[in-house]
Structure 1
Amino acid sequence: MSNTEAAPAALSCRPDPATPGVEVLTAREVPLGGPRAMRVRRTLPQRDRSLIGAWCFVDHYGPDRVSDAGGMDVAPHPHTGLQTVSWLFSGEIEHRDSLGTHEFVRPGEVNLMTGGAGICHSEVSTAATEVLHGVQLWVALPDEHRDAPRAFEHYAPEPVVLDGGTARVFLGSLAGSKSPVATFTPLLGAEVVVEPRDRVTLDVDPAFEHGVLLDTGQICVSGEPLGLSELGYLGRGRSQLDLTNLGDEPSRVLVLGGPPFTEPILMWWNFVARTHEEIVAYREAWQNESDQFGRVEGYTGSPARLPAPVLPPVTIKPRRNRSS
């Protein structure tokens, strides 16, 4: 498609010499779920960067035509010590959990589930879904709240008009919009669309570190170009994020942020813990169908629940970030 502007503005990516650069995290492709697993692109955790704020897990998937890729069908599986955040760009997912929640995830609506001491849930794309496209995110809970009771929230943020684009703020505050969804550490989560050949400048909290995930289009983050599904990491000390669209189509990104999460955590399978022994106990409880995780009612797929993988023959070590 051609840019039909009579006098298009020239846009370039120029890093700000007064601030540190952007660290670009490249995704790796992994299977999600059980034997009919769909493929997702994972940018967190990585070997050298496990968290951005309390965000500890970022999966990006689609756009996948369900008739070709088979859609999403993730049988009941457990979580501890975290909150899950589901956000869609297209399609629809049916969520059921052991709190008794039966809800749908739709584009522009966030589902946040608190695992705490233990919860389980299933996720299935609906028959109405032709193209599935979205992200699945996890938030690590701080030690004092990691055994919080099960909880679930659903919220549909109104779009905010920006100079050069729009935003939907599903967690935290940005551009005058504030989400009512409760978290246990300060967080930012927003979808931002930048118009073709335009620029959006966001005022952000300098106490936060931030990540910008490119979903569609051609974008530069504070002078650094990102490839599709790449996550640009920006450390503390910035009061603004500059998003420049170099293309002739709208560009969409996800902006994540929060103050550095300084507690070391252990992540294995679907569990966030603090010690290897806790991971072993969580796995045993799930395999033995303990009441710690409850039951999901209404899921009709197969298998009826995902079995836990075999533990590695080593002691699981904490995840830490590289100094930045």
Structure 2
Amino acid sequence: MDKLQKLAIGSIFVGIVVLGLKYVAFRITGSVALYSDALESIINVITAIAALIAIRVSATPADSNHPYGHHKAEYFAAVIEGVLVILAALSIMRQAYFGFLEPKPLDAPLQGVLINGFAGVINAIWSWILIRSGRKMRSPALLADGRHLLADVVTSAGVLLGLGLAILTGWHVLDPALAGLVALHILWSGWGLMKESVGGLMDEAMPKDALDRVRDLISANADGAIEAHDLRTRHAGRMTFIEFHLVVPGAMSVTDAHDICDRLERALKDEDKHAQVTIHVEPDDKAKHAGIVVL
């Protein structure tokens, strides 16, 4: 079992623990705002399970039906997570509406705040671990899970602050008002997750700074060639696909042209070990003089 899968299993365990704490906080207080926080934790557990499944599928080697591998499976988990987050937000809005109609005083508010705060600290630590690991290992599913947890931490902090004000002032309407604000924040978070994941499913190109780095590496490691053009890139989970045409002198031997391609591939993979490089070699009469000049 690799590190990605271990982290995904860890997310399920942490999610269950945090859910239990937040549910206890909700039950002893009857707070609509704490209900919203607990409901988001249910989504955390479900999406952690989805992330684990997606990571396992994405690790499956390429086969005859999927010659480019199964790396995009992680994007599907992130999209599912976004959908579930939005559904949770709509449910919270419903509860907030009823809370506005009939505001109620909170039971045992201090105990509930302390329990919920402890759960928030656990989430904060784990979200930092997931985001750091997701970026390092380039896992969309792990990164989406970490960002969702971070959003949960932010909303939990807002809820606790608002509940503190409600306790001090006696304004019971603050409880459903906070739940409504949490729902809006969760909606925005879910939209962000879906937007980023759809970009991966649509074969979005590398960011400009990364693309410029690829151009520099091609230019610096293509001695003997004339130019490179029609550079195309895309992401699929942890994998980066890089394709371009390399123009060489017409009289160059196949062996020499192949050596240049090997050198380019090594340089690009040294920069990104998950890069899959495809180079199409062309003679000098195919030069466009509009690509990366390497001569």
Q: TM-score, normalised by structure 1?
A: 0.22
Structure whose CA Rg is larger: 2
Q: TM-score, normalised by structure 2?
A: 0.24
Higher relative contact order (CA 8 A, sep 6+): 1
